[in-house]
Every structure is written in C-alpha cells, then in structure tokens.
A and B are shown apart, each in its own frame.
Chain A
C-alpha cells in the first residue's frame, strides 16, 4: 500500500488478488507518476483470494484526499465489499468516495491520469467509466 500527499483525487485499487492490486498500482505509479494519492488492497482476511471490508477501509484512509477517492474494483465481491466499506465511512467522507464501473487496471490508469490533471471526483469517475462506453 502506498500513498502521496496531494489535493488530487485519490485512487484505490481493490482486487481479489493482492498481486493484481499491487501490480495495477505499480502501473499507475510508473505511467502516471506520484502526484496522485494511491493505495491498493486485495485478498480475504486469511490472505486467500478475496476482498475484505477492513482492508478496503484502510486503503481508502491511505489514499484519502480532500478532493475525494475513486475506487476501482475487479469482480462482484470486490464491488459489493467496496460499496459496504463506503457506507461504513463517516457521512462527510462517504459522499466523497465513489466506486467506478470500469475495468480495474485500465480504469485505475485512466482515473489516475484524470486525477493528476487536477480534475474533480466526478470527472475522474466519468473518465474511468468512459472505457466501457
């Protein structure tokens, strides 16, 4: 998990596989640079393939930005657990976290690119979701 201080929208990568999440984060760092707060999480609470709400909450905390956080997820459970995590945030933070309907790797790179230019949370989400449009 990594992050950087910035007023840009934070990016959180959630995959069933910690290796995929970390690898996608590496790609974001290398392609987009370090101007974007970034964190990743993957695996269930026993370290197997899966996702867990506590890990997602930690990643959101690590990538927190006043501009908000965009969460990129892979398969079903990652999305459900991420939505659950968002609902468990304090209300002032909850409204500034979105789960994007976008492929996890491409979406993370595109969202981070958009964020690195200082775009709003809504613009970051729209851009990531444009990939499927």
Chain B
C-alpha cells in the first residue's frame, strides 16, 4: 500500500540520494533493521537502500527485506528517496545509521 502511494508521488518529486556508514558493532542486524523499518514507515516517500551506489535496491519499509540485507559494521548504506517528505526521510535515515541506531 505504501508503495502505491509513494509510486504516485514519485512522478512529481526528484529522487534524492546520500550514503552513510554503519558504525554500530552488529551492523544492520535484527534490532537495527526494525528501527530502520519503523522510521521509514513514518514517511510517505519511497525509501530504498543498497550496499552499492547502483543497487540492488531494498525497500526500507519491508522488515523482512531489510533483515535479509545483513550488512556488517563498516558497510556503506546508499539511500534513494523519492516523495513529498523525501528530504526529511533521507535526513532521518542518515541520522539513524550515523547514530548507530542508538546502540553504538
């Protein structure tokens, strides 16, 4: 459902990109995955991330897909955000990663 709304919004908004390095020791493990997903769900924008600048892209709003990425500490998360609240969404994602999901 989120995807449908985000998809419609995407036509009118530019795609924003930025990256951040995973600093917390466990990387993108279960608990950080949940936090990332929860935060992403708070935005209308389509939010995706990847371990490389050219993908493959993972939907940040899908708990299962985010957990499957299993990115380790030191990995770079590339974000790709499109939507009406894209800037705020991107800032929130980057802050979460750089803060080590509050557990670094």
Contacts and interface: CB of A to CB of B under 8 A. Distances in A.
A32 B32 CA distance: 10
B41 A116 contact: yes
B62 interface: yes
Interface residues of B, number: 16
Contacts of B30: 31, 109
B38 A116 contact: yes
Interface residues of A, number: 16
A120 interface: yes
Interface in A51-66: none
Interface in B34-78: 34, 37-38, 40-42, 61-65, 67
B41 A31 contact: no
A113 interface: yes
B42 A117 contact: yes
Classify the secondary structure of A's interface with B: helix
B8 interface: no
A117 B62 contact: no
A123 interface: yes
Contact of A117 (B38, B64, B65, B67): B38
A110 B37 CA distance: 10
A118 B61 CA distance: 12
A87 interface: no
A117 B1 contact: no
Q: Which of B30, B31, B64 has the most CB of A within 10 A?
A: B64
A114 interface: yes
Given A32-B38, A123-B1, A117 B61 contact: yes
B6 to A, nearest CB: 13
Given A113-B38, A116-B41, 19 more contacts: A31-B30, A31-B31, A31-B34, A32-B34, A32-B38, A109-B63, A110-B67, A113-B34, A114-B63, A116-B38, A117-B37, A117-B42, A119-B2, A119-B41, A123-B1, A127-B63, A130-B64, A130-B65, A131-B64
Query: Which are the 7 A-B pairs with shortest beta-carbon distances?
Result: A117-B41, A130-B64, A113-B63, A110-B63, A31-B34, A113-B34, A31-B31
